[in-house]
Amino acid sequence: MLAYMRSTSTLFTQPLRVLRGYSISYLQADLIAGASVGVVLLPQALAFSLLAGLPPTMGLYAAVLAGIIGALWGSSSHLHTGPTNTASILTFSVLVPIAAPGSPEFIAAAGLIAVMAGVFRLIMGLARLGLLVNFVSDSVAVGFTAGAGILIMSNQIEPLLRLDLAGNGGLLATLRATVIQMRELHAPSMLLGLSTIALLVMLPKLQRKLPAVLVSVVTGGFVSWGLGLERWGVQVLGELPRSWPPLAALPLLDLHLIGQLANGALALAMIGLVEAVAIARAIASHSRQRLDSNQEFVGQGLANIAAGFFTGYPVSGSFNRSALSYQSGAKTGLANAFSGLFVLLAIFVLTPFIAHLPRAVLAGTLMVTAYSMIDRRAMLRIWRGAKGDTAIMLVTLAATLALPLQFAVLAGVLMSLGYYLLKTSMPQVLDVVPDASFQHWAHQPQRPSCPQLAVVDLLGDLYFGAANHVEESLYAILARHPHQRFLMLRMHSVQHCDISGIRALENILRVCRDRGGGLYLVRVRDPVLRVMQSTGFVKLLGEQGFLDEDEAINRIFHRVLDPAVCIYECELRVFRECQDLPKREFPGGVASLADYGPLPKVEEMSVHTLWQQLRSEAPPLVVDVREPREYRQGHIPEAQLVPLLNILRDSESLPRYRQIVLVCQSGRRSMRAAAHLHHSGYYDLTILHGGMLAWEAAALLEAVEVPE
């Protein structure tokens, strides 16, 4: 607990570390970068505050406080915090159902929601929840940003054309009202706004080093002043107060209003954090700076809290200003703090000029900015990618245009989580066979698999959401090959396994053993193995069930599989070990057990029962149907060697009126021999259950051994 408190306290002392490590040699570069960013921040702060339905001064105050606090308490040297188009349109969308834009209630709610969003971000930073932003996928961000850009452009139609669209909500309602009132548009405002748009589009193509936004806004202001367009009805910002950011009277105890704003504040917090962290990471990929997401959360939270308390509104990270800070040569975060001081100076010095800025000019500026938010290249890339990502992007885009923005964000996040859960709950379960070089395993449905052994790749985690899918998929694979008794699972892609996954493996193991076979696992990850050990699955499966992948097939082939199936029944050569194996044909060609028709129910005898009967006065005749090589490696002393092939060719050498106990490695060849003998007129037939594997496991091999 003490260690946590110490680490938490360091999140609030970030300015001390910034100042302590500051070199005076950085000052000139930071001042130049701060001034460069400030000249862009000033017109953007004015435009974005209007976009949010708020007085321009609130944008200026938010720019001052957020620029300074976000720079000092953040971890990035280049991330610039302040008013943004996304935060502005989201603020407007959340507040417009609660109060009329520009009203005292609307202004107070804007400050309150900034504080609430800041508290959410601060708590997430203190709780070390920086990883939560990963749950907002790129598809959600791209879809939401494109939708927000379209909404911003539609919301700027009113000031651009000087129409009265008040009371019309939503994209379609705005477009419909615009068409109806088209005859009432104000031509001077429209021409001024369109000229600003043209200048913003053309200027970067002619000269990239000039701040296009600042040049366009200043040019539009001088054109309006020089032609006296105010007398022609062009609306301007009006007189602005020259003062320090004042402390706002926020309704902090209005629980009803807090409840109304809660969802929107959470959406602002999440989207703002996603924006800020994504921008910081993008810049850091060029600057090679190491970032701390939790520190960035704290910086973003404190910036919003300060902006809310001092007559501002919600803020976030800005990509174009952050990129400009990096391109201008900023060395530390103080450069962005200097940009806030630049705006503060402008409040006292440039207020007379700002008062005469036409709203149509700022509307044209926002139109171009909003259009740039529609990242067509990213949308096309997602469209060409996975269908799930495409669906998430389109749903988020549609929800942004049709629903309140906080619900659009929530819809996109929930759909992303749902898509993630769907993908993880349905991992691929593929039966694989070796490739032509026997170096790699591959899913090749066109190639047949081994009739005794199924090899399966599990490509996903075995947790409660996926366990049933994996189990059913394995059942389906075994059902397609009813004679496969052994199953080998390649577990290299299974990073996590819980009790539901263990139960699924237990069920599969039971099915394999019911078939007279077994289950083998290779490449089990250490975390998964620890779960298997703690739940008792390792003991249930047995140590022999865990194999080294390089030796697994060789071990199973030579010690587990029934060689008679490979020699007499199987024409395939699936594994490397099959290549040199002799393939013997039955008389009349390759046959199968099904060729004998309905098989009789042949009794099975346990190894202990056979051991006792061998000591009786009338012991049965034990016929070992394995190959001579296997017989020499170990056999029941009383057993008579009659290889299966000899029985198939000539079964008349065995007595018909004596009980015959058939023995093989595991029981498969004994069933084959029993079917053939029964077809030839033998009835007193018994199979040793489990074959020599069971006999050896019961330690009876030596118990009945007799000296020569």
Take residue 582 and report the two structure tokens written for it: 């002799």
Q: How many CA atoms lie within 13 A of 167 on its CB side?
A: 2
The rounded distance, in Å, linking the Cα atoms of 216 and 362 is 9
Take residue 286 and report the two structure tokens written for it: 């060029």
Residue 452 contacts by C-beta under 8 Å, 6 or more apart in sequence? 483, 484, 485, 486, 517, 561, 562, 565, 566, 570
Contact 381, 141 (CB under 8 A): no
Take residue 1 and report the two structure tokens written for it: 């607990």
Q: How many CA atoms lie within 13 A of 343 on its CB side?
A: 30
Take residue 498 and report the two structure tokens written for it: 């819980």
559-563 long-range CB contacts below 8 Å, 24 or more apart? 560/486, 560/518, 561/452, 561/453, 561/486, 562/452, 562/664, 562/665, 562/666, 562/668, 562/669, 563/627, 563/630, 563/665
Strands (E), 267-365: 316-318
Verify whether residue 664 is a known catalytic residue: yes
The residue type of 231 is: R
DSSP 169: -
The rounded distance, in Å, linking the Cα atoms of 6 and 419 is 39
Q: From residue 117, give the alpha-carbon distance in Å to each of 44, 269, 392.
A: 21, 5, 25
Name the strand (E) or helix (H) holding 521: strand 518-522
Residue 77 contacts by C-beta under 8 Å, 6 or more apart in sequence? 287, 289, 330, 331, 332, 333, 335
The residue type of 102 is: G
Name the strand (E) or helix (H) holding 641: strand 640-641
- Nearest CA among 655, 651, 596 for reference residue 622: 655
**Exposure string over 562-591, b if 16+ CB within 10 A, otherwise e:** bbbbbbbbbeeebbebbeeeeeeebeeeeb
SS3 content of the chain, % helix, strand, coil (to 5): 60, 10, 30
Name the strand (E) or helix (H) holding 704: none
The rounded distance, in Å, linking the Cα atoms of 544 and 521 is 9
539-543 long-range CB contacts below 8 Å, 24 or more apart? 540/506, 540/509, 541/505, 541/509
* Residues catalogued as catalytic: 664
